Structure 1
Amino acid sequence: MWVLTIFEQNSYRIFEFETKEEAVTVLGKIESPAILSYTNLTLVA
């Protein structure tokens, strides 16, 4: 799972993607500071 963390002025948002291509596409459209990472963990709500 690819995780995109976007840092905003007073908060942050986290998005999950199945493929790197999806995540990189979104990352290219964002102007805020962001980190793209990969994890083998599965998040369960």
Structure 2
Amino acid sequence: MWVVTIFEKNTVRMFEFVSKTEANNMLASVKGSAILSFTK
């Protein structure tokens, strides 16, 4: 599972994806700080 974590002023949001392609598409649209990680 791929996870995109978005860091905002006072919150942290996490989105889960099955494919890396979907996660990368989401990550590309984020305008602030974010990371992409993989977990089993």
Range of TM-score over shorter length: over 0.9
Percent of pairs with identical residues: 52
Instruction: Please say which structure displays the higher CA radius of gyration.
Output: 1
Q: TM-score, normalised by structure 1?
A: 0.86
Higher helix share: 2
Unpaired runs of 5+ residues, structure 2, are: none
Look up the match of 2:3. Answer: 3
Q: Whole-Å Cα distance in 2 between the matches of residues 32 and 13 of structure 1?
A: 12
Deviation at 1:32, TM superposition (A): 1.0
Length, aligned pairs only: 40
Q: Whole-Å Cα distance in 1 between the matches of residues 29 and 4 of structure 2?
A: 12
Query: Pairwise CA RMSD of aligned residues?
Result: 0.4
Q: TM-score, normalised by structure 2?
A: 0.96
